[in-house]
């Protein structure tokens, strides 16, 4: 039988348990993927803890939205995905598992240059970054301020923005500045004097801001530096965005993503995979854990380790 990580109540990492599950055969428009790696995202922990409301739990719930593996079965009408094909999985529910059945819209062929762990690290970070920058109309000539640039989403933001010809100033702790320089950003340390450091790094001014940090400092500095609040977005303080006059894409926002924004997140997957195959986009991998140690992976996530955490079934 297949195995999956489940939880039956909200709480700390300890609520995650491994269970034997029945993997349904793929129906019309579906495929079954053997999972070789699953990405661990901050949203997973927020959902598990109940910090992100998802309704009352009435049956065991599975967890995880991103993964990578090999197609082992296809539905009767599926023609564009084949058994034996290596794919990434994104926008799903339950990738912390040995296998998963999902609609074909949740998979994308994975080129041989991209490892399973790298592919599992793409869904939420790359999709979020790509959609956010497109929604803010970031382009050549812009100077973008990214708060929290060293995380998975932040690194994707830096890479897309610089590839599109924008300059990027990114905040991070000092020990992460070398990584940001490698990606093409001008790193600045957060803390007292942040506004002055950003102004020095971008003397011509900031034209767009993406907040992945969620601190009061990040919000306050953004409001002082950005001339157009319609080009300021938060990915973590969504509940506060309307009152601040800025934009939010999920991150607690009461407004769901529009169909166009959802489309952009899906569009990001083939774009990112092609860039990776060409050596123009990279993923920083962090520690990996066996599937049975999902709770330990969530503890590492809370501790703030460097690089993308993955689970290996």
Taking the C-alpha atoms of residue 73 and residue 81, their distance in angstroms, rounded to an integer, is 10
Reported as a single tens digit per residue, the pLDDT across 208-244 is 999 999 999 999 999 999 999 999 999 999 999 999 9
| Inter-axis angle of helices 42-49 and 294-303, nearest 10 | 110
- What band does 23 get if pLDDT is binned at 50, 70 and 90? confident
pTM here is 0.96
Q: What is the pLDDT of residue 307?
A: 97
Tokens of 281: 């986009």
Q: In sequence order, what are the residues at sequence separation of 6 or more whose Cβ sits closer than 8 angstroms to the Cβ of residue 122?
A: 39, 66, 88, 90, 269, 272, 273, 283
CB atoms within 10 A of CB 297: 27
What is the set of domains in the chain, with CATH numbers? 2-122+283-312 (3.90.180.10), 125-248 (3.90.180.10)
Question: What are 121-135's pLDDT values in tens digits?
Answer: 999 999 999 999 999
Q: Is the dihedral of CA 87, 59, 2, 290 positive or negative?
A: positive
Instruction: Show the beta-strand stretches assigned E in the chain.
Output: 2-7, 17-21, 30-39, 61-62, 66-74, 86-89, 99-103, 107-109, 143-147, 167-171, 186-188, 208-211, 232-234, 247-248, 285-290, 308-312
User: Residues 141-176: pLDDT tens digits?
Assistant: 999 999 999 999 999 999 999 999 999 999 999 999
Q: What is the mean pLDDT of residues 256-279?
A: 97
Assess contact for 31 and 73: CB atoms under 8 A: yes
What pLDDT digit, counting tens, does each position of 269-311 carry?
999 999 999 999 999 999 999 999 999 999 999 999 999 999 9
pLDDT value of position 17: 98
Q: What is the pLDDT of residue 251?
A: 86
């Amino acid at each position: 039988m297949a195995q999956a990580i489940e939880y039956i109540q909200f709480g700390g990492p300890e609520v995650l348990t491994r269970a034997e599950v029945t993997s349904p055969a793929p129906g019309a428009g579906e495929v079954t993927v053997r999972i070789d790696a699953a990405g661990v995202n901050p949203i997973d922990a927020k959902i598990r803890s109940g910090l992100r409301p998802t309704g009352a739990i009435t049956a065991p719930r599975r967890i995880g939205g991103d993964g990578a593996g090999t197609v082992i079965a296809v539905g009767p009408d599926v023609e564009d995905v084949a058994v034996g094909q290596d794919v990434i999985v994104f926008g799903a529910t339950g990738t912390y598992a040995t296998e998963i059945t999902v609609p074909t819209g949740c998979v994308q062929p994975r080129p041989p240059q991209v490892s399973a762990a790298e592919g599992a690290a793409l869904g939420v970070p790359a999709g979020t970054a790509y959609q956010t920058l497109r929604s803010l109309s970031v382009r050549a000539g812009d100077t973008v301020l990214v708060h929290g640039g060293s995380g998975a989403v932040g690194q994707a933001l830096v890479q897309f923005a610089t590839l599109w010809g924008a300059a990027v100033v990114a905040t991070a702790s000092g020990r992460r500045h070398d990584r940001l320089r490698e990606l093409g950003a001008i790193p600045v340390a957060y803390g007292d004097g942040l506004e002055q450091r950003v102004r020095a790094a971008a003397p011509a001014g900031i034209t767009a801001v993406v907040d992945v940090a969620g601190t009061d400092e990040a919000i306050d500095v953004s409001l002082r530096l950005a001339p157009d609040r319609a080009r300021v977005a938060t990915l973590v303080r969504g509940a506060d965005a309307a009152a601040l006059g800025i934009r939010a894409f999920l991150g607690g926002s009461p407004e769901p993503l529009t169909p166009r924004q959802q489309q952009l997140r899906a569009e990001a997957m083939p774009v990112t995979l092609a860039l990776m195959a060409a050596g123009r986009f990279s993923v920083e991998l962090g520690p990996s854990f066996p599937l049975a140690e999902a709770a330990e992976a969530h503890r590492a996530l809370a501790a703030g380790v460097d690089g993308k955490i993955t689970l290996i079934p």
